[in-house]
Amino acid sequence: MFNRIRNIARLAQAARTLAQYDALAPRELARHLPLAVRLAGRLARAWPGQGAGAGTGGAARPGERLGLALQTLGPAFIKLGQFLATRPDILGAELAKDMKSLQDRMPPFPTARTKVIISAELERPWDELYASLSEPMAAASIAQVHKAETLPLDDEMGGAQIVAVKVLRPGIEEEFAKDMAALAFAARLAERLRPALKRLEPVKLIETLTASSQMEMDLRLEAAAASELAENNLGRENFRVPRVDWTRTSQRVLTSEWIDGAPITDGATLKAQGFDPARIARHVIEAFLTHALEDGFFHADMHQGNIFIDRQGCLTVVDFGIMGRLDLESRRYLAEILFGFLTRDYERLAEVHFAAGYVPAHHSVHVFAQSLRAVGEPIFGRHAGAISMARLLAQLFQVTETFDMRLQPQLALLQKTMMVVEGVARDLDPDLNIWEVSRPIVEQWMADQFGPHAQVRQAAESARALGRSLAHLPDALNAAATISSVMTREGLRLHPQAARAIARETQRQRRGVNIAVWIGAIALAIIALTAVF
């Protein structure tokens, strides 16, 4: 009961803030909003001191005002806003476009507090670990970053290093948990009151944001993500990940290599250093797709502030708090989508959705294929700069509403990241042809997964599995003989609990039965027949 009251109070406070910025039920959009929302907006605006536009800061458009309101509400609402900015199917195209400028920036907390946190977390006075510590170089809603020089320790190789020290904001975990609990309460309430919203999976959306943000608030996990991404990219050119200093890293402190590079937004510096912005744009798209398809593990926050170009021209990324993972099934789905649109094979593309279970079977594959054609055909023949893979995925999600397709959280995060990555690449090269860059990566991955070599590899894996099963054949035959002997003497009697367990296991394995079970069944039949005859 207490949690419910606290959640309602926080949501009421959020509603007042939204009303203050005229973002709860914007006057410009009132005619499109449900009656209950319009009434709530009027009541909130009538609250003393909440006049329409009172805190807009000069922002004229509804999406801009919404972004300002969410930034005022704090980290959890900022994260939600950044995600919604990539979902025009939820907010509408205009609101989503206006909210793209929402930045995760906050005033820094004092460096003296940083030193206290470092000393407590690393269990040593900060000045025994670092020779110097700068004032904050960047401050966001969850953490801030300082530049530092390390002091050599007895158990370390090498001398002093220039490093980046990331430190969590004091009390951020508790603040974030309270806000996400309120948003989860609102999502559950929305699904209950508006069943049609279940297709958009608001509860799962908040759960996904909560999980990813909780990982951001354990900097050991961010360090591990950086380490994994670096390991995945060993031997690949044009991509670099800063080294983690594990000795000076804990739950609330992360120390890593300082990156001396040009921001990817600094086109003049890049050109002065002899780098081609168009080539860098291609590398951005190639790196993202390679990570998503080949590794199933990608940097999910690749905005301009997190990408630098080092002196060798390598893309160097920082801030690994938000990472995305795709299992093999999701990667196949993504590749099939892109490949289907590339080849304009809409029937095959429709079949993929049905085979994956994303579209319920009672719909028509052919009608769905027709809808996909309506999404794909307008792309072809357009100027390269007008083609967007992220926009295509967004339109795909919009079309699938008619076919009861539920939102897949991992694919939504991918689409969000793809939109950001495309924006970075377009800023470098407005005429970049996304399809041209993507095609060889997608086609190679499809060949690796479904081509002749993949079939040989799958056959070899099946043979190894068969060999492992056959290795247990003598034990299976002995067990079958024992079972047959007991059945001959006493008949077959099963405890009700055992029968229920067998039924559950049978149901669980209905899509594929282990070959060893078949071998045992055949052996049992042979033994039984031998006993009879």
CA distances from 68 to 53, 64, 71, 81, 169 (A): 11, 6, 5, 10, 21
DSSP 8-state secondary structure symbol assigned to residue 269: H
**Contact yes or no for 82/39 (Cβ under 8 A):** no
Write the Ramachandran bin of 235: left for phi over 0, alpha for psi from -120 to 50, otherwise beta: left
**Contact yes or no for 67/102 (Cβ under 8 A):** yes
Token duo for residue 406: 């539920």
Task: Report the C-alpha gap between 413 and 343 in whole angstroms.
Answer: 25
Token duo for residue 533: 């005859």
Tell me the helix, strand and coil percentages in the chain, rounded to 5.
65, 10, 30
Which residue has 């229920």 as its token pair?
Answer: 500
Task: Report the C-alpha gap between 528 and 533 in whole angstroms.
Answer: 9
DSSP 8-state secondary structure symbol assigned to residue 486: H
**Contact yes or no for 297/335 (Cβ under 8 A):** no
Task: Report the C-alpha gap between 467 and 514 in whole angstroms.
Answer: 12
**b/e per residue 237-249 (b: at least 16 CB within 10 A):** ebbbbbebbeebb
**Contact yes or no for 285/432 (Cβ under 8 A):** yes
Token duo for residue 227: 């380490």
Which residue has 């950086």 as its token pair?
Answer: 226
Of 12, 18, 8, 19, whose CA–CA distance to 42 is shortest? 19
Which residue has 């920082």 as its token pair?
Answer: 318
Token duo for residue 325: 């993972």
Has 301 been annotated as catalytic? yes
Task: Report the C-alpha gap between 1 and 4 in whole angstroms.
Answer: 5
Of 219, 252, 207, 152, whose CA–CA distance to 409 is shortest? 207
Indicate the pairing of strand 315-317 with strand 239-240: parallel
Letter for the amino acid at 357? G
By three-state DSSP, how is residue 190 classified? helix
The one catalytic residue in 89, 245, 301, 429 is 301
Rg (CA), the chain: 28
22-29 long-range contacts, Cβ below 8 Å, gap at least 24? Answer: 22/52, 22/53, 22/54, 22/56, 22/62, 22/65, 23/62, 23/65, 23/66, 23/68, 23/69, 26/62, 26/65, 26/66, 27/52, 28/62, 29/62
Q: What amino acid positions are annotated as catalytic residues?
A: 301
